[in-house]
C-alpha cells in the first residue's frame, strides 16, 4: 500500500491548486482523478473570462488550468489518472482509500484528505419537467461536452431553461455553431448567471431572456418536438393560462449545480443544507478531522479564481495537519517524506486532538482552540467557512458569502455577541455573484460560547 | 346472467347511449359516450365472472379518434417466408418467459416485438415487486399463479443470474380497533388462501425491522415472502437465456395483420415480412385485444390503466429496507393497493404507483399531479420521505381486463392461438408459473401434428457478465487484471466500467442504444441521470459499431442524440425557421 501525507481527490482547478500548495509545504502528495486528463470541467470551458482576478488577464478554461497543470508537472507531484475512488475509511487517525483503475484495485493511505470533487448539474426531472422522455433533453454541461470535446452538435432549434452561467455560455456557443436558440427561460424574477454573461452571451446575440418563466412539459415520442413554457407566479408555480407550446428539437438545462459530496457523506461528514457542501472551519477542514474540502465541492463558485484559492488554502492546511500527525507518538510510524521540520512547519501536537470534539478545532496550528459557528440571518444565502477556529492569534482567513437578494446599497456586518467587529459597504450585491473577504482573525475577540453573526444590512432608501 | 336487468341498470345511468348483449360467448357492450371514465364504469358494471364470459367493449369515445398503435417505420423482408413452430407476439416478461420455457423443446421459436428492445412497455415500467399475493381473493387466475410464481423466484433468478431479494412486505395500520378485523383477514389469507407466510407483526417488531416507518403504526401485516427484482433486468435475462437455447428474437417487428381460415391462423404479416407459424402466442400486453381481433378471437377487452412511480436517490435507500405501505379505511375504488415504498435490488427507493384509467395505451407521459398524490399518501407510510430525493420518474400502463383477471387459455374460436392476456400486477410475479402452463398448452397443441422432442442442449443457466461493484476487491482486482476495461469507470454514479458496457454490447440480445445499455448495465441510472456518462457511452457505442456518433440513438427510431459535426453549418440555413 502506498502512503502519503495528503491525498487529493479530484484533478480540476481546486484539486490541482490544493496539490501544488500541499507540495509547497513539503508534503508527500497524491492526486487522484477519475478522468483520463487533468483539468476537470475546465477542459470543456473553451470560452474566455477565466483568471481575471488571479492573473489579471482573460484566459480560456483550458489555458487557465494549463498553468496549474504545468506547475503540477514541474513539481513532479504524483497523480493517478482514470482512477476512481470506491471506498474511503478512517482508521487510527489516517485514511484508507480503495480505488480502481485499468491496473486493478489500488489501496492508498493518507494522513489528510482533500475532497475536491466538484459538482454536478441538476436534471430535468429534479425541476419537475414532465411529459414524455424524448431524445434532445440534456443539461448544459452535457451539451458543452458534446460540442467542445467531441465536436458534435446536439441541438438545432433549442430552448434553454435556466439562466445559470453554463446555460448562458451554451446559448452563445450553440448560436456560433449555427443552432438557433429560441430563448432562455428563467423561473426566478432575476437572472442566475453573472451580468457579464447576460450581456455577452444573450444581448449580443439578440437571444431573448424570459424571466419568471419556466418549462413545464416536454413533447415528442422519439425526438423532442416541443416544450411547454409558462409564466410563474410569485411562488414559482406555473400559471395555467400562460402555458404555450414552443416547437424545438432540444431543451438545454442550466438549473443549478449540486456539490458532489457522496464520498464525504460516506465518511460521515456533515453537510450544510445551504451550500450542499461540508461544514468547515477557516482551514477548510470538515467536521471529520483530517478531511478538507474546497472548490465547487465546498460550495458552488461563480469564478474559478476562488475555486483555486480555496484549493490552495485547503491544500496547505491539509499538509500542516499531516505534519502534526507525524509528531504524535502512535502516529509517527507513518513516515513522511516531505518532512515538516524542513519547512519549519512542524508544531507540537498531542494524541487526543485527532478525536475532534464539538467546540474544538485542530486545523493547522495544532493548538486546541475554541471553535465557533457563524450564524447567518436571512439576508445571506450562506457564508463559508461556517465556523471559526479562534485563539491562534494573528491569522488571515478568507470568507465567501452570497446575499439572499439583490441589494443596491448595503453593509456586510460581522458581530460578536452583538458588537460589530467588522463592516464593509457594498453596492449592487447580487445573489449570483459571490463576494469574498479576507480578514485577520484577531478581529474576532471571542470567548468560548460567544455568538458570531454575519448579515447584510440594507441601507435606508436603497 | 340477466341481460335485461343489466340493460336497465345501464339505461338508468347512461340512457340509450349504451347497450349490452351476449354475443358469441361474450358480454358485448356498445354505444357511445363522451368520457372515458364512463366507458370504463359501464363495462365494469357488465362484468359477470360466474358466466365465464368476458366483457368486450365496443363503446365509442365521442369526439376522439382512438390512438393508433405506434409501429416501427422499418420495412424489410428479414422474416419473409419464415415458418416457426411457435410465434410469440410481445417481448415483455410474459413473452420472453414463454420463449425460454419452450426452448426446452426442439422447436423453432420466434418472438417478435414492435419496440427496439425488450421490456419497453409494462415490463420495464413497474416497481419490480415479487408479490406474496396477500391482497388477492381465492378463485382468480391471478391468485392461483401468484402463489406458484412467488415460490419459483429463487430458482429462476439464480438460473438467470438476476439479483433477487425477499425483503418482505409490511402493511401498516394506525388504528388499534382494526386489529381483530386485520387478524381475521390475515388468518383467512394464511389458511384459506394459502398465502402461508402471512402474519401479524407487533409495533415493536415493526419498529425494530423498519425504524423509519410512521410511528403511529400500531401493528402491521407482514409477508416475508415478498421480494423485489429488477423487472427489465429479469425480462432481458429470460430473453437472453431463450436465445442461448435457440429461440430467435426479432425486435422492431410489428404485427400488422393475420390471415385466418377456418379457425386457424395461416399467416401473420409484419413490417419485416410474412410469417407462417404453426401456433401463435398472444403476449402483446395492452395490445392483446388488438392481436386477438386480428386472429378472429377477440373475446375480452383491455382497458389501460396508467401508474407513475418515482425513483429516489440511493441516499434515501435506508429509509425503507423492504416494501412498505399504509392501509387506511378510505374506500379504495382503484384496482391497486394505492402504491407503497419499495427498496429496490439496486438500493434506490421506488415510490408509487397511482392508478388512472386512460384510453391511451402507449402514453407514458408523467404528470406532476400523480407524483404529488403518491407522495402525499406515502409520507404517511414514512414521514421522512422527501420529493427532494427524486432522481427521476416513469409511467407504465397496465393491461387490465374488465374482469381484472388474467386470460391464460387456448383460443376460443381460433385453434392455433394461445392467449396470455390481461396480464397486469402481479404479472411479473406470476410470469414464471404462467409460462410453464403456456408451454404445456403449446406443446400439447403441436403434438397433435407430430412428435415434439426435448431440446437436449437446453441449459437453464444464463451466464451473466460480472457486475464489478458487487464483487470483493480481490475478485474485482483479478477481473481487471484479465480485462483492464473493467477498471475504467465510465458512469460515476453507478460505478459502471467500460468493460461492463462492452459486455452489454456483446450480449446475446444486443441493443446498442443509450437506453439499451442503461437497462442492461445501468450507466445513467444514477443521480446525475447520465449527465456525465451519456457522451462517453455514445462514444463507446459509436466505436463498437463503427458508426459516426450522429447515428447513435437514445432508444428507438428517430432518437439520434447528435445532429452533425460542429463547424458544419446546415445547408438548409434559415429555411429551418418558422
Domain boundary among A240, A255, A270: A255
The verdict on whether B303 is a catalytic residue reads: no
- Do A359 and A389 fall within a single domain? no
- Do residues B39 and B33 make contact, with C-beta atoms less than 8 angstroms apart? yes
- Do B345 and B493 fall within a single domain? no
- Do A376 and A356 fall within a single domain? no
CA–CA distance, A194 with A340 (Å, rounded to integer):
42
CA angle B464, B465, B470 (to 5 degrees): 100
Query: A118 in the Ramachandran plot: left (φ > 0), alpha (ψ -120 to 50) or beta?
Result: left
Q: Residue ranges of the alpha helices (H) in B285-346?
A: 288-294
Can you give the residue range of the structural domain that contains A133? 123-255
Give the list of residues 6+ apart from residue B306 with CB closer than 8 angstroms, or none: B355, B356, B358, B360, B363, B364, B395, B396, B397, B398
CA–CA distance, B294 with B284 (Å, rounded to integer):
12
By C-alpha distance, the chain B residue nearest A257 is B528
- What is the phi/psi pair of residue B363, to 5°? -95, 105
Report chain A residues whose CB lies below 8 A from the CB of B532.
120, 141-142
Closest listed residue to residue B185, CA positions, set B144, B216, B210, B219: B219
What is the number of helices (H) and of strands (E) in chain A? 9, 28
Please report whether residue B571 resides in a domain: no
Choose the weakest-confidence range: A1-15, A313-327, B498-512: A313-327
- Do B182 and B37 fall within a single domain? no
The CATH number linked to B52 is 3.30.1340.30
User: Grid coordinates in use for A322?
Assistant: 499531516
Min Cα–Cα distance to chain A from B68, Å: 14
Domain boundary among A336, A367, A398: A367
The CATH number linked to B353 is 3.30.9.10
- Do B328 and B339 fall within a single domain? yes
Min Cα–Cα distance to chain A from B255, Å: 20
Q: Do B391 and A156 touch (CB under 8 A)?
A: no
Please report whether residue B561 resides in a domain: no
What does the radius of gyration of chain B's CA atoms come to, in whole angstroms?
Answer: 25
Please report whether residue B576 resides in a domain: no
CA–CA distance, A256 with A186 (Å, rounded to integer):
11
Q: Against a cut of 0.90, is the pTM above it?
A: yes
CA–CA distance, A301 with A311 (Å, rounded to integer):
12
- Do A237 and A316 fall within a single domain? no
Report chain A residues whose CB lies below 8 A from the CB of B395.
none
Buried b / exposed e along A417-438 (16+ C-beta atoms within 10 A): eeeeebeeebeebbbbbbbeee
The pLDDT of residue B335: 45
- Do A130 and A243 fall within a single domain? yes
- Do B181 and B157 fall within a single domain? no
The number of folded domains in chain B is 4
Give the list of residues 6+ apart from residue B132 with CB closer than 8 angstroms, or none: B146, B150, B169, B195, B197, B198, B223, B225, B226
The number of folded domains in chain A is 3
- Do B208 and B309 fall within a single domain? yes
Give the list of residues 6+ apart from residue A424 with CB closer than 8 angstroms, or none: A411, A412, A437
CA distances from B6 to B19, B28, B30, B120, B299 (A): 9, 12, 13, 39, 19
- Do B230 and B145 fall within a single domain? yes
- Do A135 and A246 fall within a single domain? yes
Please report whether residue B570 resides in a domain: no
- Do A85 and A47 fall within a single domain? yes
CA distances from B573 to A148, A157, A226, B566 (A): 22, 12, 20, 14
- Do A157 and A223 fall within a single domain? yes
Mutate to test the interface with A, among B72, B561, B571 (most CBs of A within 10 A): B561
By C-alpha distance, the chain A residue nearest B499 is A102
- Do B294 and B309 fall within a single domain? no
CA angle A156, A159, A165 (to 5 degrees): 110
- Do B455 and B487 fall within a single domain? no
Select from A102, A123, A135 the Cβ nearest to the Cβ of B531. A123
Contact status of A417 with chain B (Cβ, < 8 Å): no
The CATH number linked to A242 is 3.50.50.60
Please report whether residue B575 resides in a domain: no
- Do A276 and A206 fall within a single domain? no
Domain boundary among B464, B489, B517: B464
Dihedral angle sign, alpha carbons of residues A231, A237, A243, A248: positive
- Do B136 and B157 fall within a single domain? yes
SS3 B405: coil
By C-alpha distance, the chain A residue nearest B371 is A128
Report chain B residues whose CB lies below 8 A from the CB of A158.
none
- Do B210 and B359 fall within a single domain? yes
CA–CA distance, B150 with B571 (Å, rounded to integer):
59
Give the list of residues 6+ apart from residue B543 with CB closer than 8 angstroms, or none: none
Can you give the residue range of the structural domain that contains B179? 164-220+303-396
Contact status of A74 with chain B (Cβ, < 8 Å): no
Report chain B residues whose CB lies below 8 A from the CB of A34.
489, 492
Q: Which of B32, B77, B131, B191 is catalytic?
A: B131
Mutate to test the interface with A, among B67, B472, B527, B531 (most CBs of A within 10 A): B531
Contact status of A89 with chain B (Cβ, < 8 Å): no
Give the list of residues 6+ apart from residue B519 with CB closer than 8 angstroms, or none: B117, B119, B124, B232, B233, B236, B511
- Do A69 and A144 fall within a single domain? no
What is the number of helices (H) and of strands (E) in chain B? 14, 27
Q: How many CB atoms lie within 10 A of CB B67?
A: 11
pLDDT at A363 over 50: no
- Do residues A190 and A122 make contact, with C-beta atoms less than 8 angstroms apart? no
Dump pLDDT digits (tens) for A79-105: 999 999 999 999 888 999 999 999 999
* pLDDT tens, residue order, chain B (578 aa): 789 999 999 999 999 999 999 999 999 999 999 999 999 999 999 999 999 999 999 999 998 888 889 999 999 999 999 999 999 999 999 999 999 999 999 999 999 999 999 999 999 999 999 999 999 999 999 999 999 999 999 999 999 999 999 999 999 999 999 999 999 999 999 999 999 999 999 999 999 999 999 999 999 999 999 999 999 999 999 999 999 999 999 999 999 999 999 999 999 999 999 999 999 999 999 999 999 999 999 999 999 999 999 999 999 999 999 999 998 876 554 444 468 999 999 999 999 999 999 999 999 999 988 999 999 999 999 999 999 999 999 999 999 999 999 999 999 999 999 999 999 999 999 999 999 999 999 999 999 999 999 999 999 999 999 999 999 999 999 999 999 999 999 999 999 999 999 999 999 999 999 999 999 999 999 999 999 999 999 999 999 999 999 999 999 999 999 999 998 755 544 434 43
Torsion angle (degrees, nearest 10) of CA B227, B233, B234, B237: -150
Select from A120, A152, A221 the Cβ nearest to the Cβ of B562. A152
Domain boundary among A367, A396, A414: A367
CA–CA distance, B26 with A301 (Å, rounded to integer):
68
C-alpha atoms less than 13 angstroms from C-alpha of A94 in its C-beta half-sphere: 25
SS3 A251: strand
The CATH number linked to B528 is 1.10.10
Min Cα–Cα distance to chain B from A390, Å: 35
Tell me the longest C-alpha to C-alpha distance in chain A.
72
The CATH number linked to A404 is 2.60.40
User: Grid coordinates in use for B521?
Assistant: 448495465
Confidence of residue A366 (pLDDT cuts 50, 70, 90): very low
Residue for cell digits 410474459?
B94
CA–CA distance, B212 with B341 (Å, rounded to integer):
12
pLDDT at A344 over 80: no
What is the DSSP code (8-state) at residue A166?
A: H
Report chain B residues whose CB lies below 8 A from the CB of A141.
531-532
Mutate to test the interface with B, among A41, A154, A174 (most CBs of B within 10 A): A154
Amino acid at each position: 500500500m502506498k502512503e502519503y501525507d495528503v491525498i487529493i481527490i479530484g484533478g480540476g482547478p481546486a484539486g490541482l491548486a490544493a496539490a501544488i500548495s500541499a507540495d509547497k509545504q513539503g508534503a508527500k502528495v497524491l492526486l487522484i482523478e477519475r478522468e483520463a486528463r487533468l483539468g476537470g470541467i475546465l477542459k470543456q470551458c473553451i470560452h474566455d473570462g477565466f483568471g481575471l482576478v488571479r492573473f489579471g488577464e482573460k484566459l480560456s478554461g483550458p489555458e487557465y488550468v494549463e498553468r496549474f497543470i504545468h506547475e503540477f508537472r514541474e513539481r513532479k507531484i504524483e497523480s493517478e489518472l482514470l482512477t476512481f475512488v470506491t471506498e474511503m475509511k478512517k482508521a487510527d487517525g489516517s485514511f484508507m482509500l480503495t480505488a480502481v483503475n485499468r491496473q486493478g484495485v489500488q489501496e492508498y493511505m493518507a494522513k489528510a484528505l482533500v475532497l475536491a470533487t466538484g459538482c454536478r448539474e441538476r436534471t430535468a426531472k429534479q425541476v419537475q419537467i414532465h411529459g414524455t422522455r424524448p431524445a434532445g433533453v440534456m443539461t448544459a454541461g452535457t451539451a458543452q461536452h458534446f460540442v467542445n470535446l467531441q465536436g458534435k452538435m446536439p441541438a438545432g432549434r433549442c430552448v434553454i431553461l435556466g439562466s445559470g452561467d453554463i446555460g448562458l455560455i451554451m446559448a452563445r456557443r450553440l448560436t456560433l455553431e449555427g443552432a438557433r436558440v429560441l430563448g432562455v427561460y428563467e423561473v426566478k424574477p432575476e437572472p442566475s448567471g453573472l451580468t457579464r454573461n447576460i450581456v455577452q452571451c444573450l444581448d449580443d446575440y439578440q437571444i431573448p431572456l424570459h424571466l419568471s418563466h419556466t418549462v413545464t412539459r416536454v413533447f415528442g415520442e422519439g425526438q423532442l418536438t416541443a416544450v411547454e413554457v409558462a409564466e410563474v407566479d410569485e411562488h414559482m408555480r406555473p400559471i395555467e393560462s400562460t402555458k404555450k407550446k414552443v416547437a424545438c428539437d432540444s431543451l438545454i438545462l442550466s438549473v443549478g449545480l449540486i456539490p458532489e459530496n457522496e464520498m464525504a457523506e460516506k465518511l460521515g461528514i456533515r453537510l450544510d443544507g445551504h451550500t450542499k457542501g461540508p461544514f468547515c472551519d477557516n482551514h477548510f477542514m470538515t467536521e471529520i478531522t483530517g478531511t478538507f474540502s474546497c472548490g465547487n465541492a465546498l460550495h458552488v463558485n461563480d469564478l474559478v479564481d476562488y475555486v483555486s484559492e480555496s484549493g490552495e488554502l485547503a491544500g496547505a492546511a491539509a499538509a500542516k495537519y499531516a505534519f502534526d500527525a507525524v509528531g504524535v507518538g502512535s502516529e509517527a510510524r507513518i513516515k513522511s517524506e516531505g518532512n515538516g521540520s524542513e519547512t519549519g512547519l512542524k508544531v507540537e501536537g498531542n494524541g487526543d486532538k485527532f478525536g475532534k470534539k464539538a467546540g474544538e478545532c485542530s486545523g493547522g496550528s495544532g493548538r486546541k482552540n475554541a471553535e465557533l459557528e457563524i450564524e447567518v440571518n436571512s439576508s445571506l444565502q450562506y457564508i463559508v467557512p461556517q465556523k471559526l477556529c479562534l485563539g491562534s492569534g494573528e491569522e488571515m482567513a478568507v470568507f465567501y458569502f452570497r446575499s439572499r437578494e439583490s441589494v443596491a446599497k448595503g453593509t456586510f456586518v460581522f458581530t460578536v455577541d452583538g458588537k460589530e467587529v467588522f463592516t464593509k459597504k457594498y453596492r449592487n450585491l447580487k445573489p449570483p455573484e459571490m463576494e469574498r473577504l479576507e480578514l485577520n482573525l484577531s478581529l474576532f475577540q471571542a470567548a468560548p460560547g460567544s455568538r458570531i453573526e454575519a448579515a447584510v444590512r440594507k441601507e435606508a432608501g436603497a | 346472467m340477466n341481460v335485461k336487468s343489466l340493460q336497465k341498470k345501464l339505461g338508468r345511468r347512461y340512457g340509450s347511449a349504451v347497450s349490452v348483449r351476449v354475443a358469441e360467448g361474450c358480454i358485448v357492450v356498445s354505444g357511445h359516450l363522451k368520457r372515458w371514465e364512463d366507458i370504463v364504469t359501464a363495462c365494469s358494471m357488465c362484468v359477470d365472472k360466474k358466466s365465464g364470459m368476458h366483457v368486450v367493449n365496443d363503446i365509442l369515445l365521442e369526439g376522439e379518434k382512438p390512438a393508433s398503435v405506434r409501429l416501427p417505420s422499418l420495412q424489410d423482408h428479414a422474416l419473409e417466408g419464415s415458418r416457426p413452430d411457435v410465434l410469440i407476439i410481445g417481448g415483455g416478461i410474459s413473452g420472453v418467459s414463454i420463449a425460454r420455457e419452450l426452448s426446452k423443446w426442439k422447436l423453432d421459436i420466434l418472438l417478435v416485438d414492435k419496440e427496439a428492445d425488450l421490456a419497453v412497455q409494462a415490463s420495464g415500467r413497474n416497481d419490480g415487486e415479487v408479490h406474496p399475493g396477500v391482497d388477492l381473493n381465492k378463485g382468480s387466475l391471478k391468485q392461483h399463479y401468484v402463489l406458484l410464481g412467488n415460490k419459483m423466484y429463487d430458482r429462476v433468478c439464480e438460473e438467470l443470474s438476476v439479483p433477487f431479494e425477499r425483503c418482505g412486505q409490511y402493511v401498516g395500520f394506525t388504528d388499534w380497533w382494526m386489529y381483530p378485523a386485520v387478524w381475521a383477514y390475515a388468518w383467512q389469507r394464511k389458511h384459506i388462501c394459502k398465502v402461508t407466510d402471512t402474519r401479524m407483526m407487533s409495533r415493536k417488531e415493526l419498529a425494530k425491522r423498519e425504524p423509519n416507518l410512521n410511528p403511529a403504526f400500531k401493528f402491521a401485516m407482514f409477508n416475508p415472502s415478498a421480494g423485489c427484482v429488477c423487472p427489465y433486468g429479469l425480462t432481458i435475462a429470460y430473453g437472453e437465456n431463450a436465445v442461448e437455447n435457440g429461440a430467435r428474437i426479432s425486435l422492431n417487428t410489428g404485427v400488422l395483420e393475420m390471415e385466418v381460415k377456418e379457425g386457424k391462423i395461416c399467416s401473420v404479416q409484419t413490417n419485416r415480412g410474412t410469417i407462417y407459424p404453426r401456433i401463435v402466442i398472444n403476449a402483446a400486453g395492452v395490445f392483446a385485444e388488438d392481436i386477438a381481433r386480428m386472429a378472429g378471437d377477440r373475446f375480452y377487452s383491455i382497458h389501460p390503466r396508467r401508474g407513475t412511480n418515482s425513483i429516489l436517490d440511493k441516499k434515501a435507500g435506508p429509509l425503507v429496507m423492504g416494501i412498505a405501505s399504509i392501509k387506511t379505511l378510505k374506500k379504495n375504488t382503484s384496482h391497486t393497493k394505492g402504491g407503497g415504498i419499495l427498496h429496490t435490488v439496486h438500493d434506490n427507493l421506488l415510490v408509487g404507483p397511482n392508478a388512472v384509467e386512460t384510453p391511451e395505451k402507449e402514453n407514458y407521459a408523467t404528470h406532476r399531479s400523480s407524483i404529488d398524490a403518491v407522495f402525499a399518501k406515502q409520507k404517511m407510510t414514512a414521514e421522512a420521505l422527501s420529493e427532494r430525493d427524486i432522481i427521476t420518474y416513469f409511467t407504465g400502463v397496465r393491461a387490465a381486463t374488465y374482469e381484472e383477471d388474467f386470460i391464460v387459455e387456448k383460443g376460443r374460436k381460433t385453434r392455433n392461438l394461445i392467449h396470455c392476456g390481461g396480464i397486469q400486477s402481479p404479472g411479473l410475479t406470476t410470469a414464471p408459473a404462467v409460462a410453464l402452463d403456456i408451454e404445456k398448452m403449446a406443446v400439447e397443441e403441436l403434438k397433435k401434428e407430430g412428435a415434439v422432442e426435448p431440446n437436449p442442449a437446453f441449459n437453464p443457466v444464463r451466464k451473466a457478465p460480472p457486475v464489478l461493484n458487487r464483487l470483493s476487491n480481490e475478485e474485482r482486482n483479478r477481473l481487471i487484471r484479465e480485462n483492464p476495461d473493467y477498471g475504467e469507470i465510465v458512469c460515476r454514479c453507478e460505478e459502471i466500467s467500460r468493460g461492463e458496457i462492452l459486455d452489454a454490447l456483446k450480449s446475446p440480445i444486443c441493443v446498442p442504444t443509450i437506453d439499451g445499455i442503461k437497462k442492461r448495465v445501468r450507466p445513467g441510472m444514477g443521480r446525475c441521470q447520465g449527465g456525465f456518462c451519456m457522451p462517453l457511452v455514445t462514444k463507446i457505442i459509436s466505436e463498437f459499431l463503427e458508426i459516426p456518433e450522429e447515428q447513435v440513438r437514445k432508444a428507438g427510431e428517430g432518437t439520434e442524440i447528435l445532429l452533425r459535426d460542429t463547424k458544419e453549418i446546415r445547408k438548409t440555413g434559415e429555411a429551418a425557421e418558422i
